[in-house]
Structure 1
Amino acid sequence: MDEPVEEPVTEVANTMWQEFLNFLQTYQVPISVVIIIVVAVVLRFVLIKSVQKVVTQIVTGAKKSQNVDDTQAIIGSPLLAARLVQRTRTLGSVSNNLITITISAVALVMILGQFGVNLTAVLASAGIVAAGLAFGAQNIVKDVLNGIFMVFEDQLGVGDEVEIGEVSGRVEAVGIRITQVRDVHGTLWFIRNGEIARVGNRSHDWSRAILDLAVAGDADIELAKEVIQSTAETVVRQPRIAARVLEQPAVWGLEYVNGDQVIIRLVVKTRSGSQWEISRVLREALKLNLDQAGITLSSTAPVAVSFSGVDGPPPTPRKPNDYRQGPPKSGRRRNTQ
Structure 2
Amino acid sequence: MNIAPFAAAPAPSTWWEGIVGVLVQIGWNILSVAGIILGAFILSWILKLVIRRVVNRIVSGAKNKANVDDTQALERSPLAAVRVVQRTRTLGSILQNIVNVTIVIIALVMIASLLAPNALGSLTLLSAAIGAGLGFGAQNIVKDVLNGMFIVAEDQVGIGDVVDLGLATGIVEYVSVRVTHVRDVNGTLWYVRNGEVLRIGNMSQGWSRVIIDLAVPVDADIGEVEAALLATATELANDAKWRTRVIEKPEVWGLESVSGDALVIRLVMKTRANAKDDVARELRMRVKHAIDHLGLSLPQLNSITLSGLEGAQRVRGANPPKTKPTPVPTATDRPVWKPKKGEAKPAAVAPPEEPAP
TM normalised by structure 2 equals 0.61
State yes or no: 1:236 paired with 2:237.
yes
Q: Which moved more, 1:274-283 or 1:99-108?
A: 99-108
Correspondence for 1:20? none
| Paired residue type of 1:148 | M
Residue 270 (1) aligns with residue 259 (2): no
Q: Aligned equivalents of 1:259 and 1:308: distance in 2?
A: 28
Q: How far 1:247 moved relative to its partner?
A: 1.6
Change (3 A) 1:86 1:70: closer
- Does the 8 Å CA contact 1:83/1:159 hold for their aligned counterparts? no
Q: Which has the higher contact order (CA 8 A, sep 6+)?
A: 1
Distance 1:63 1:176 in 2: 27
Whether the 8 Å CA contact 1:210–1:265 is kept in 2: the answer is yes
CA RMSD, 1 decimal: 4.3
In structure 1, runs of 5+ residues without a counterpart are 1-29, 313-337
How much does 1:231 deviate?
0.8
Give the SS at the match of 1:90. Answer: helix
Report Cα offsets for 1:6-59 as digits up to 9, x if no partner: xxxxxxxxxxxxxxxxxxxxxxxx9xx99xx89999988876665444322222
Displacement of 1:107:
8.7
Q: Across the two proteins, how many residue pairs are aligned to each other? A: 278
In structure 1, what is the equivalent of residue 224 of structure 2?
Answer: 223
Is residue 2:78 matched to residue 1:77?
no
Q: Which residue of 2 aligns with 1:13?
A: none
Structure 2: gaps spanning 5 or more residues = 1-28, 317-357
Report the Cα distance in structure 2 between the residues aligned to 1:204 and 1:101, rounded to whole angstroms.
31
| Alignment correspondent of 1:91 | 91
How do 1:129-208 and structure 2 match up within 5 A?
A: 129-208=130-209
User: Structure 1's 299 and 105: CA in aligned 2 closer, same or farther, altered over 3 A?
Assistant: closer
Matches of 2:187 and 2:100 in 1, distance apart? 37
Q: Which amino acid aligns with 2:90?
A: T
2-structure distance, mates of 1:273, 1:167? 19
Distance 1:58 1:108, change over 3 A: same
Report SS of the residue matched to 1:229. Answer: helix
Question: Aligned equivalents of 1:62 and 1:116: distance in 2?
Answer: 51
The residue correspondences of 1:97-108 to structure 2 (distance < 5 A) are 97-99=97-99
Q: Deviations over 1:218-251 (max 9, x none)?
A: 2111121111111111112223312212222222
The 1-side partners of 2:190 and 2:39 are apart by 44
Greater Rg by CA: 2
CA distance in 1, matches of 2:260, 2:303: 12
Q: Which amino acid aligns with 1:63?
A: K
In structure 1, C-alpha distance between the alignment counterparts of 2:98 and 2:179, rounded to whole Å: 18
Give the distance between the partners of 2:85 and 2:212, measured in 1 at CA: 32
SS at match of 1:239: coil
Aligned to 1:310: 314
CA contact (8 A) 2:214 2:302 kept: no
SS of the aligned residue for 1:240 comes to: coil
Following TM superposition, by how much is the alpha carbon of 1:137 offset from its aligned partner in structure 2, in angstroms?
3.4
Greater share of residues in helix: 1
The change in CA–CA distance for 1:105 and 1:183 in structure 2 (over 3 A counts) is: closer
Identify the range of structure 1 (69-78 vs 172-181) with the bigger mean alpha-carbon deviation. 69-78
In structure 1, what is the Cα distance between the partners aligned to 2:60 and 2:303? 47
Contact 2:163 2:200 in 1 (8 A): yes
1:319 corresponding residue in structure 2: none
1:176-218 per-residue CA deviation (whole Å, 9 max, x = no partner) reads 3332333344433332222211122222222111112112222
Structure 2 Cα separation of the partners of residues 303 and 49 of structure 1: 46
1:171 and 1:181 in contact (8 A); partners too: yes
Cα deviation 1:299-320 (Å, max 9, x = unaligned): 27979985473248xxxxxxxx
Q: Which residue of 1 aligns with 2:59?
A: 59
Superposed CA deviations along residues 82-109 of structure 1, whole A, max 9, x for unmatched, are 8755542332243344456557767988
Distance 2:102 2:74 in 1: 41
1:82 touches 1:159 (CA, 8 Å); kept in 2?
A: no
Q: In structure 2, the residue corresponding to 1:180 is in which secondary structure?
A: strand
Q: Which residue of 2 aligns with 1:21?
A: none
Letter in 1 for 2:73: I
Q: Secondary structure at 1:273's aligned position in 2?
A: helix
Q: Tell me how far 1:76 sits from its aligned partner.
A: 6.6
Contact 1:76/1:244 (<8 A) preserved: no
Q: Which region of structure 1 is more displaced relative to structure 2, 265-274 or 180-189?
A: 180-189
Report if aligned partners of 1:213, 1:297 keep a CA contact under 8 Å in 2. no
Q: Is the 8 A contact 2:86 2:160 kept in 1?
A: no
Q: Aligned residues: percent identity?
A: 44
